[in-house]
Chain A
């Protein structure tokens, strides 16, 4: 396995062997210092309390994360730099909006671009804040739900999420708020 010569320790070591007979066994080990260079960190234990037994087994038998070698694979830095998408806020890459919920101690942020429509968005919000939004209907909104997804649009008005087509929503949504159902009545409903 290849590894990065970070301190060039081989060169500073006095060796008894002839030049050219490098210490092959040393090359095949992965020194502990290299773990810090790994792209794939070993999963933290605190991550998921739902970790199943099979997941744990996978962790134990998974191959050691690979260390990055300088200049390998041979890709020009010009190409590497250009593969990263333009980090501009707004239309093309990532629409991040703040999400707040009545009673929650802090806000979250989500990228609207990753969802294809309302059902996916609602599912994600429900999982994030542990609530149930209920069924949406044009006439009655999220009737009977304890919590209701709303958003502030470009004009500064608070709207019920779900009324307008998805594309229009992602373009005009400035922030999201999960309101208590009792307060949401009267929002956007005919």
Chain B
């Protein structure tokens, strides 16, 4: 009895203590300690992250956490980025907004990724949350600039409006004029995804000019190069800037104006945009290059010599996104100039061409792995690779946490030995003990999965395509990777055995995607029946899966854990395998 008394604090004290705990994982851990901690914690939780919007229902979230101020939701599976998830699959945010409008009148922040957002949803947000501050729509779709106008007009304390990489129906640039003259609170504005050629430039200029706290501004292509200087002069406090169109005929006065405007931005550390670059205008950036930590040139079709010149001016660079025009020579220069580099992404300029159009090979990546001791995150598209190169990279950079390699032609072997790349990727998982994310490509047998299952203990996300020989491959991963949360597989000969043998594992993961594999409809039904806490969804656009024999493989399969049960907003081409072996649709 007395022991209990000695350990009980008043609720207010515990609340105060908990308020210092920001991370979701830690918060979840706190709530598991005991019932009273769970109760206190849930009343003071302000931020909720829901990695799969179908894993839980809005009502359940609201019931458990009544005082939320900030919510982050993710919708479609990652492979939706590559058109593997048909339109209309789901991921609608409206039901969430509708429930939260009543339950969270003080909601301040909504962050969404891969969700379908409609103008109706945006209007509801604008109407419902009086203290709304942050709206981030990452890779979302379904809305137009009309919805944005509603947000601009109504949200008096708006701090962030970030539309990164969303598909927006850009009806006109006039929505910007809906920000009232009294709006001075903007800290971040990202409209880079807006596709129309019109933008209300004067409204934009005035908005930028009256927001003294604006730190991040990313423009779209409608803003021409000659206008950039005007914008920058109104916001010399910017830390992150995305140019619009960076091309024009070279005119000395425009150039010097631009260079002067850039040099007046003493805090500028991050640049992006750069669609259609005229290399002659790049030197306008030289004054800020020494401070740059992040540079996104992944839309800039500039050739290696110009890239090398630019990059050699940026010794503090930590993050570089670039097209493969950089070539091996450019990456070698990067390796010698940028010793602080942590993240490198090299995208293909001609992904569908049959022949290489640039001289970018595994050598460039090897050079960077050798020269950049802080390199942690890699995304690399190339056309050839060798086990030797991968082993070298792994040995040079055991601190890698993200490694995504895409060899453009599926099933490409080691170009030197013609063997599979099992050993190379095996070295990556073996040496890089903190590896959290891995994407495989090239010719791979079940062996690579054996390595991954044995060594990939911290691996959280794995992407596999055109790899493996049998169910053993999938079994190695599901049984070995203890930290696995997301697994996405396409075009691999993985079938029922591994899946059914590791059914329990699936409840410890966020989701599993399998398309063009060999999982039968019968196995899907069995899984749905055995595992009530899993939603097993079969996607088939040609015909219902039960119109064929049970042994036929399904086209696409998406399995995710959920406490909300099967969803009811499925389109005609998605079937869920309900536990009662009813096929809901």
Contacts and interface: CB of A to CB of B under 8 A. Distances in A.
A130 interface: no
A20 B470 CA distance: 8
Contact of A71 (B82, B245, B381, B522): B82
A74 interface: yes
Interface string B483-495: 0000000110111
SS class of chain A's interface: helix, strand, loop or mixed?
Answer: loop
Contacts of A51: none
Interface in B541-557: 542-543, 548-549, 551-555
A11 B493 contact: no
22 contacts: A11-B553, A11-B555, A12-B548, A12-B552, A13-B552, A14-B549, A19-B519, A19-B552, A20-B471, A20-B493, A22-B493, A22-B553, A63-B354, A74-B439, A78-B167, A79-B347, A82-B275, A82-B299, A86-B275, A88-B197, A92-B276, A93-B276
B165 A78 contact: yes
B449 to A, nearest CB: 15
Nearest to B250: A167
Nearest to B499: A20
Interface of B: 79, 81-84, 139, 165, 167, 193, 197, 221, 245, 247-249, 275-276, 298-299, 301, 347-349, 351-354, 381, 406, 408-411, 439, 463, 465-466, 470-471, 490-491, 493-497, 516, 518-520, 522-523, 540, 542-543, 548-549, 551-555
A10 B299 CA distance: 39
SS class of chain B's interface: helix, strand, loop or mixed?
Answer: loop
Nearest to A76: B81
B239 to A, nearest CB: 24
B381 A86 contact: no
A69 B410 contact: yes
A92 B226 CA distance: 14
B109 to A, nearest CB: 24
A86 B466 contact: no
A22 B518 contact: yes
Interface residues of A, number: 41
B555 A20 contact: no
B495 A20 contact: yes
A60 B41 CA distance: 72
B491 A20 contact: no
Given A2-B466, A73-B408, A74-B463, 10 more contacts: A2-B411, A10-B553, A11-B555, A12-B542, A15-B552, A19-B551, A72-B410, A75-B82, A75-B347, A76-B165
